[in-house]
Amino acid sequence: MKLTGACLLVCITALFCQSEVTAAQSDIALELPAIETSQYHRPYVAVWVEDAQQQPVKLIALWVEKPDWLKDLRRFWRKIGRSNTALVDAVSGATQKPGSYTLHWDGKDDNGAALAAGQYTLFVEAAREQGGRSLVKHEFNLPSEGAVIDIAAEGELGAVKATIR
């Protein structure tokens, strides 16, 4: 088979041009319940995604007051907090009062790259000073356009609902 110059140019261009990868977008709605107690402290909350090898790929949100209490977010601390202080500093925000909150995740990892197709786990962990601790998680696959993740309320966390689009 003989290739002409134009045909060869088209073939080479097709090999080197990659179509833009579109990352899955996700909205994560979470509730912090009002807990009746004499000394209420706002919970520390961490929201992140791990890959199938249980390696963290994206820290979506971190609500903290004092770094001393970060260790109470046990899984978060072991996976991200103690080894990646620069990321913790970059993402952390103030603790929040009881209520409903919506987080937006652009579907990218901590380096800004779109996540590859595969299995991932969404984690939400909350801990209160002189209070309880809750960790909820849910596996999901990418791509999974239109998928809805529902996690029931548990302890320090109200319901969590993530919509992947």
Higher pLDDT: 10 or 115? It is 115
pTM of the model: 0.86
Please report the pLDDT score of residue 69 as a whole number. 85
Higher pLDDT: 159 or 15? It is 159
pLDDT tens-digit readout, 29-78: 999 999 998 889 999 999 999 999 999 999 999 999 988 889 999 999 99
Q: In the structure encoding, which two tokens stand for residue 130, read together?
A: 């002189």
Give me the helices (H) in 5-64, please: 5-16
Q: Which of 163, 159, 161, 162 is nearest to 33 (CA)?
A: 159
Q: Is residue 151 scored above 70 in pLDDT?
A: yes
Please report the pLDDT score of residue 15 as a whole number. 38
Least confidently predicted of 10-19, 42-51, 88-97, 142-151: 10-19
Kindly list the domain boundaries of the chain, sorted by start residue: 44-164
Higher pLDDT: 16 or 155? It is 155
Q: In what order do the strands lie in the sheet with 148-151?
A: 99-105, 26-32, 160-164, 148-151
Q: Is residue 17 scored above 60 in pLDDT?
A: no
φ/ψ (deg, to 5) at 75: -65, -45
Please report the pLDDT score of residue 85 as a whole number. 93
Q: In the structure encoding, which two tokens stand for residue 53, read together?
A: 């090898």
User: In sequence order, which residues have a C-beta less than 8 Å from that of residue 90 and are 6 or more positions away?
Assistant: none
Q: Is residue 149 scored above 80 in pLDDT?
A: yes
pLDDT tens-digit readout, 74-123: 999 999 999 999 999 999 999 999 999 999 999 999 999 999 999 999 99
Cα 13 vs. chain centroid, distance in angstroms? 36
Residue 11 binned pLDDT confidence (cut-offs 50, 70, 90): very low
Higher pLDDT: 131 or 57? It is 57
